[in-house]
Amino acid sequence: MSGEKSAKELLQEREKRVNDAIQLKVPDRVPIIPSFAYFPAKYASVTCEDAFFNLPKWHEACKKVAIDFEPDLYHFAMTQPGPVQIALGNKQLALPGHGVSPMHSHQFVEGEYMKADEWDAYLHNPTDYAIRTYLPRVYDKLKAFSSLPPLVRLFWGYGEVTTTELFTRPEFKEALNALELAGKEMEKWREEKSRFDQEMESLGFRAVSKGSTSPPFDLISDMFRGMRGSMLDMYRNPDKLLEACEWLTPRMIERGIKSAKASGNPRVFIALHRGAEGFMSLKQFETFYWPSLKKVIIALVDAGLTPAPFFEGDYTSRLEYLLELPRGKVVGHFDTTDIFRAKQVLGNHMCIRGNFPVSLLQTGTPDEIKEYTRKLIDVVGKDGGYIMATRGSLDEANPALVKVWVDFTKEYGVYR
Amino acid sequence: MKNEKSPAELLQEREKRVMDAVALKIPDRVPIIPAFAFFPAKYTGVTCEDAFFNPPKWKEACKKVLIDYEPDLWQFASVLPGPVMQILGCKQVLLPGHGTSPYHTHQFVEGEYMTAGEWEAFKRDPGDLAIRTYVPRVFEKLQILQELPPLDDLVTGGGVAGVLDYFTRPEFIEAFDVIIQAGEAMAKWRVEMGTFGKDFAELGFAAYSGAATQAPFDLITDFMRGMRGSMLDLYRHPDELLEACEIFTPLLIERTIAMAKVSGNPRVFIPLHRGAEGFMSLKQFEKFYWPTLKKVLLALIDAGLTPAPFFEGGYTTRLEYLLDLPKGKIIGHFDTTDIFKAKQIIGNHICIRGDMPPSLLQTGTPEQIKDYTKKLIDVVGKDGGYIMSTRGSLDEAEPELVRIWVDFTKEYGIYR
């Protein structure tokens, strides 16, 4: 089939298929968007380290996956420019080959990067907090900035020029050099990213999303207070937490809009972390997590974009909240949520993506795979509004089984 | 007498004389500390420009003044590091030979360096306003910083990635070079200025002060809002004004104590600007000026230092406030305040320094000078607690008349 159509036609066909599902229409067949993530490493015998440190090589591997599996949109690992992280000495990330095995995924390094008694500085003196406290704590090469005087002293005009002397210290020069080096690496990274997008487009493939943003609560929990810190905050600093979520909401909206508009891809990836069932109670979800996330999602929809939240973990008890979002404008990618219940609750309201177990694609049999694929298509795919996908990342999946799954979805998933 | 004593002994004798007066005791004679300021220029035929750009030459001129007039402590112009100001393109000050005549003092360039509309941004994120708005406005060579994106993005999701591009842009690399060059010039300046104290001490003369600070309100009116701006703020933005005074107070205290400790000199020079009678009402003084100034003075005293505020302008109606301070711990240098009234009100409470009019030393007769000197010593010097000095700077005084004044003070000022 693909031999007859031009790449451009295929691209349009795939986009339409996905968009029909998002708009809760019945497409020609169930679209499939596997979360390939680091799968290209195993499949094309490159390393996960390459995804961070040898982008052209990594892109070749990704291209091979796209050509061989022909997903409706491609979804690979969201990687960071490795040389930038190394140049700055980022302590929040352990990268493949630099802290974790070159053959496995990167790891986030949990920590209380912001202390409980720093809430006021964060909220009411954010630039000073960023430059003198947070960046030096997270980036080893920027630790010199912690010796800067409070930035509000810059308002003392020429009375404060003595501060320039700090910049003659070796550690300050090193920090500025690190930033310059990181900037150059970032530029290279972006160029290669955009070259890859164009090449993929010419082959008929488009990314599931280019833009992204975060739930305000997760930004705080991930990057600042850590899991433990933010959990304690729900009891000890609830007002600060809420103030932060409110303060961050317009910024998260702007991030999503800006990053998506810059790319031309309307879908905005939103990875949800701490709103799941194991992390907070329903009441806490309602108080701390959902209100600001909801505002972000609605604002993105209002901006003509398609929010694509990934509900990592279990959201079975939280599905009803999603009915508060505009109909047919959001793709909900589900992980361990009961997807059949999701269909009952949300089926007429929001496009569902998911939730093929990754374990089955690693250790299952072809029959097991076909059976579950069929069930998903029959039940969740009924009357459209469904996108076939895995729960989480396919990093370690067996390529032959992935092939069975993808091919069977394309065959059995045709709407007649 | 002086031939018999070593410079070290003389230095101790002079220090003791002054500190006895500060402690409201009766010294051997009335100490004299003329505010020589730029007087060495006229006296030795160097320029005021040299004070800012040629420290070794300026030091020699000052040394000659010290040797010839033998003050109890030395106080020359508080000069700014000329090369640093040039490198940064500081627009807040005109230096001799660079905007004003090489033979006259520097001039501050009044201005609304922060607008009234920016109080809101100051409250929300002062570091961001300082770096992106204020600094580019004050320092011509750092104008490029105004092109930076909002810096709170560093801690609202963008991270350091959002600013990396700027560190590779030639204009920014140039601006960072400017800061480093300024820092190098600052370091050189600091070393050179350090030799003033050392060289003069070897001659038997200690410095009047080793650190300087300001009233919190003055920082705002001098460097941020300008005279006009801050006067309007008294009516239109009183809360912001008070909040900024409170923000600056601990920072000033901390910086000043550190400076004083480094210098080893306990006296802290504090030029007061806008708290005087012509600038604000007594009620405004009480509300906006005095509370935070008082906090600074008390904190310095608690740190074992001797604040030496210069009450420029008239403070006759404000003398009672000084009774709030601990007894015998500060030097109040008065300008046009009624010094005889000051003696009545605070004579038993703080050491008074003043107030020979420079005009008399420029155009007066020896008799007029002796008469006024006698009156000051008789009335204000009664029972100690007094330091003979000029009101303001001696820049243009007649060297012969200065000599008469100094000699007569030393002769007539002996306590018997």
DSSP string, B267-307: EEEEEE-TTSTTTS-HHHIIIIIHHHHHHHHHHHHHTT-EE
Interface touch B93/A158, C-beta < 8 Å:
yes
In B363-402, the residues whose Cβ lies within 8 Å of chain A are none
Set of chain B residues whose Cβ sits within 8 Å of the Cβ of A164: 84, 88, 179-180, 182-183, 186
Mean pLDDT of B255-269: 97
Based on the number of CB atoms within 10 Å of its own CB, is B76 exposed (0-12), middle (13-18) or buried (19 or more)?
buried
Question: Is the predicted pLDDT of residue B1 greater than 60, yes or no?
Answer: no
Q: What whole-number distance in Å separates Cα of residue B350 and Cα of residue B24? A: 7
Count of all residues that appear for chain A in the document: 416
CA distances to A158, A315, B240 from B135, in Å: 10, 49, 20
At residue B397, the pLDDT reads 96
Using a CB–CB cutoff of 8 Å, tell me whether B158 touches chain A. yes
On the CB side of B129, CA atoms within 13 Å amount to: 21
- Cα separation, B66 vs A303, whole angstroms: 74
Cα B336 to Cα B317, B353, B390: the distances in Å are: 12, 12, 10
Mean local confidence (pLDDT), A71-78: 96
- B200 shares contact with chain A (CB less than 8 Å): no
A142 contacts in chain B (CB < 8 Å):
160
List A residues 143-202 in contact with B (Cβ-Cβ < 8 A).
149-159, 161-162, 164-168, 173, 176, 179-180, 182-184, 186-187
Which pLDDT band holds residue A1 (cuts at 50, 70, 90)?
very low
The number of beta carbons lying within 10 Å of the beta carbon of residue B213 is 27
Helix (H, G, I), strand (E, B) or coil at B355: strand
CB contact under 8 A, A158 and B92: yes
pLDDT band at A91 (very low <50, low <70, confident <90, very high): very high
**B residues 285-314 closer than 8 Å to A (CB):** none
Whether B97 and B46 have beta carbons less than 8 Å apart is answered as: no
And the tokens for B302?
């608690």
Residues of chain B numbered 115-134 and touching chain A (CB < 8 Å): 123-128, 130-131, 134
Average pLDDT of A17-36? 98
* pLDDT score, position A4: 85
Q: Which domains does chain B have, with CATH numbers?
A: 7-33+208-412 (3.20.20.210)
* Summary mean pLDDT of chain B: 97
- Average confidence (pLDDT) over B341-359: 97
Contact criterion met (CB below 8 Å) for A221 and A233: no
A126 touching chain B per CB within 8 A: yes
For chain B, helix, strand, coil in percent to 5 are: 60, 10, 30
Contact A127 B128 (CB under 8 A): yes
Residue A368: count of CB within 10 angstroms of its CB: 15
Contact B184 A168 (CB under 8 A): yes
Closest CA–CA distance from residue B187 to any residue of chain A (Å): 6
Whether A125 sits inside 8 A of B125 (CB atoms) is yes
Spatial separation of the C-alpha atoms in residues B381 and B21, rounded to whole Å:
9
Report the pLDDT value the prediction gives residue B158, as an integer from 0 to 100: 86
Q: pLDDT averaged over chain A? A: 97
Q: Which residue of A has its CA nearest to B176?
A: A176
A123 within 8 A of A224, measured Cβ to Cβ:
no
A241-245, B2-6, B385-389: which has the minimum mean pLDDT?
A: B2-6
Residue A337 burial (C-beta neighbours within 10 Å; 0-12, 13-18, 19+): buried
pLDDT digits (tens, 9 = 90+) for B141-184: 999 999 999 999 999 988 899 899 999 999 999 999 999 999 99
Tell me, what's the pLDDT at A2?
45
Residue B251 reports pLDDT greater than 90: yes
Confidence at B3, pLDDT banded by 50, 70, 90: low
Cβ-defined contact of A251 to B156 (cutoff 8 Å): yes
Query: Which residues of chain A neighbour B92 with C-beta distances below 8 Å?
Result: 157-158
Residues of chain A contacting residue B186, judged by C-beta atoms under 8 Å apart? 161-162, 164-165
Which two tokens mark B369?
């000078």
- As a dihedral over the C-alpha atoms of residue B115, residue B117, residue B120, residue B124, rounded to 10 degrees, the angle is -60
Residue of B nearest to A173 (CA): B180
Specify the pLDDT at position A3. 55
Contacts of A150 in chain B (CB under 8 A): 251
pLDDT above 90: residue A106: yes
- Token pair of A107 as six digits: 């790891």
Q: pLDDT tens digits, residue range A133-178?
A: 999 999 999 999 999 999 999 999 999 999 999 999 999 999 999 9
B167 CB neighbours in chain A (<8 A) are: 176, 179-180, 182-183
Q: Which residues of A touch B270 (CB under 8 A)?
A: none
CB contact residues (below 8 A), chain B span 315-374, against chain A: none
Confidence of residue A214 (pLDDT cuts 50, 70, 90): very high
Per-residue pLDDT at A366: 98
Domains and CATH numbers, chain A: 7-33+208-412 (3.20.20.210), 112-168 (no CATH)
Predicted confidence (pLDDT) per residue in B232-243, tens digit: 999 999 999 999
